[in-house]
Amino acid sequence: MQLALQTPAWVQSSTPAWVQNGANQLSQVSWSRTTRFRVFFAILALSFVYTLSTFIWENDSNEWEDGAIPISYVDKNWEPYTPAEQLEDDPNAPYIFSPLNDNFYLPIRPSSQPDQAALAPSWTQPPQSCLDEIVGSGTDCTGGWQAEKKLDFVWTWVNSSDPVWAEARAAISAQLLGKPKVKVDPEAAMAHFRNYDELRHSIRSVLMHFQPYARQFNILASDFAPPGERLSSPLRLGQAPQWLDSSRDPVEWQHNDVQMKVHHHVDFFRPYFETVFSSFAIESQLGNLQDVNDLFVYMNDDMYFLRDLTPADFYTSAYGFVFRLVYYIQIPPSLDPKPQRGEWQALRESNVLIGQRFGPSTRPYRSHMPKIMSVSLLHEMAETFSEAFTRTGSRPMRAVWPPSEGGDVHPGFMFAHYIVERWREGLLWSWAVARMGGDDDSWNADDAWQELRGGDAETLWIGRIVRESLSDALQQLWRAGYESPGASFYFFSSLDGYPYYSMRQTGSQEHPHLMDPNVCSISRTECFPPEITSASEAFAHIAFKRPQCGDCVINRLVQNSGRRGLSAVLPPSGRTFAAASTGSTATTLPKVPRWEDGAFALRDILSHSPDSEVIDVRGWVLRMLHRYRFVLADSPYEFVFLVDDKSAQGAVDRLQGHDKAFACMNDDVESDDDAVAVEAIMREWQDTRWGEPAGWEAA
């Protein structure tokens, strides 16, 4: 660590010119001399304890299954951090160096400053005329507006081979369990978390195959109290990849036009208790990220780009989010009665939550590859399911949770389905409430039936929905300013309705097929019972109580809209509504965890407007729907379980001979001998394929 004179020798180093010039952009660290020596001797003591533990501590991984402790920080009444008083001296130390292995850390002072209110992301703000063309007519935006094309990338990462991190994990485990210490075999603790230098090469792979369209790379890393300090120490040690250039100001970590930033969990957890070891907990807080582009690609450190890609593989203003789903892996809408380690408890917990808000259904697994995300919509999702997200964020480690306590959420899976279900809900609300309902929430079932062109029939059969939303997708992308996708085949557009209707009806594991001669049917008695007299009640009935009704109503409205656009769904141009109160107008339908808790009448949704302005109902609906547009796509990818050298070499050989877009090399190696062999194969493959260093790497 760079400190003043009389600092122990191991922390002394030559001070870079950017520090001498006062250009330090990191959190300022102020340690008194007493504190500095306490940290120094504590780390030396840690070195002895860590070494000793390797030989004499028993491996208790069976007791807690590799350290997964089903105890929450909330259960232990952990206190969130508050800023400490400024200490006497301020040496402007930018890095802290460890005597154990020459690791450096970024010093962090947690701040209680509230997050700044985020402005609406630019991608959500096209002109209304543009939205009318895209959503209403299904054509191009001709007004000259184009969305920002560049995307950010976010990697989650931890250096589990760091002895200071291992000690922090052991200390936290001990406190959670009420034990004086937790017996940890450091070698066993590394299983499934070994470092094959994946992160560096994952980042290089994106640089090689996506650099012209990337704005900023972001690494989310662990932080912990200095060894020997109290767990709630105001100073935090932030991990950083050791291949980053520590001789330069971090604001200079750049490769051409792409900036590199390291964020730590304490920076974006709300609230933050202590060091986090759970990926679900980390993902639950992504909606709080600061200084990250609203649209970003989320990656694990074992994921790689294998060929040139473009923004159209992830998001476009022409079609929205690009989601990749695995239809043959379906998540039930019920909790697992006998949950086990892994992601399935969280997947089913998340699908139950989605079902409670939008209606129960099996839903397809989201492919385990790089995922498009939105900070603002992740935040909206966390607000909608605030109790579940807060619960997940307070849990330090992944574990099997008793059903009575609720499982973790799986935000990566949940995000795609939240968007899809918000879109479905928005379509039905637009038609039932904003188009067919009165200002006083009045409803006429006969008018609604005739709007669907039901005539005198009691059952309306829907078949062969002929659409051209994707017939000229490449031309539409080009006119919107996008290059063709590098490795994505679009097969369903949100402009064509709801993609899970056949899954809900028949359990189909195939892509939606709108040309089916028997898509669905609408029963007048079941879907529009005469006792319903309000538009909001009619909406809730077809959307949630009888979801199969809503699914088929959407199919009929898409069919009635012609070959493009959603003209039959939208309220008429010129419809306005006078809000009762002054204030900010809602941007979406109710953010409540259960649909029964929401008020969906027009007067409830559009209850406020700035300066008592009259609200353009069609404009509000268009902007609301625009937030949730998407396409479903397929891309060639390889998911590899690294078990031993044979599996690793086989995967590497396959990837050399195939034109895959993505690969995920999942560490499932059990024995140390196998790990050594796998590491050699992985490092050779990575260095051969992505051997050119980035500008932020140390020489």
Q: Is 651 found in the same domain as 596?
A: no
CA distance linking residue 513 with residue 505, whole number of Å? 13
Q: Is 521 found in the same domain as 574?
A: yes
Quick check: 618 and 571 in contact, CB under 8 A?
Answer: yes
Q: Which of 394, 415, 436 is the last residue of a domain?
A: 415
Beta-bridged to residue 523, according to DSSP, are 459
Kindly state whether residue 694 falls inside one of the protein's structural domains: no
Q: Is 574 found in the same domain as 615?
A: yes
The pLDDT tens digits for 479-496 are 999 999 999 999 999 999
With 0.85 as the threshold, say if the pTM is over it.
yes
Tell me what pLDDT residue 489 has.
97
Residue for token digits 């105001």?
234
Q: Is 487 found in the same domain as 388?
A: no
Quick check: 19 and 2 in contact, CB under 8 A?
Answer: yes
Kindly state whether residue 171 falls inside one of the protein's structural domains: yes
Q: Is 651 found in the same domain as 590?
A: no
Q: Is 560 found in the same domain as 581?
A: yes
Kindly state whether residue 123 falls inside one of the protein's structural domains: no
The pLDDT tens digits for 329-363 are 999 999 988 888 889 999 999 999 999 999 999 99
pLDDT at 384 over 80: yes
Kindly state whether residue 330 falls inside one of the protein's structural domains: yes
The pLDDT tens digits for 210-221 are 999 999 999 999
What share of the chain has pLDDT > 90, as a percent? 64
Q: Is 684 found in the same domain as 618?
A: no
Residue-wise DSSP of 615-654: EEHHHHHHHHHHTT-EEEEE--EEEEEE-SHHHHHHHHHH
Domain coverage including residue 668: 634-689
Average pLDDT in the chain:
85
Kindly state whether residue 672 falls inside one of the protein's structural domains: yes
- What kind and span of H or E run contains 322? strand 320-323
CA angle 173, 179, 183 (to 5 degrees): 65
pLDDT at 57 over 60: no
Residue 300 three-state SS: strand
CA distance linking residue 153 with residue 100, whole number of Å? 32
Helix, strand, coil percentages in the chain from 3-state DSSP, rounded to 5: 40, 15, 45
Q: Which of 415, 450, 469 is the last residue of a domain?
A: 415
Q: How many CA atoms does the CB half-sphere of 235 hold within 13 Å?
A: 23
Quick check: 623 and 121 in contact, CB under 8 A?
Answer: no
The whole-number average pLDDT for the span 86-107 is 67
Lookup: tokens for 392: 């997940």
Tell me what pLDDT residue 513 has.
86
CA distance linking residue 124 with residue 107, whole number of Å? 36
Q: Is 553 found in the same domain as 644?
A: no
Q: How confident is the model at residue 18 (pLDDT cuts 50, 70, 90)?
A: very low
Q: Is 638 found in the same domain as 628?
A: no
Q: Is 338 found in the same domain as 426?
A: no
Number of folded domains that form the chain: 3
Q: Is 301 found in the same domain as 165?
A: yes
Q: Pick the residue with more confidence: 96 or 600?
A: 600
Residue 392's identity, in one-letter code, is: T
Residue for token digits 């340690």?
31
Q: How confident is the model at residue 228 (pLDDT cuts 50, 70, 90)?
A: low
pLDDT at 80 over 60: yes
Q: Is 189 found in the same domain as 331?
A: yes
Q: Which of 353, 383, 415 is the last residue of a domain?
A: 415
pLDDT at 424 over 70: yes
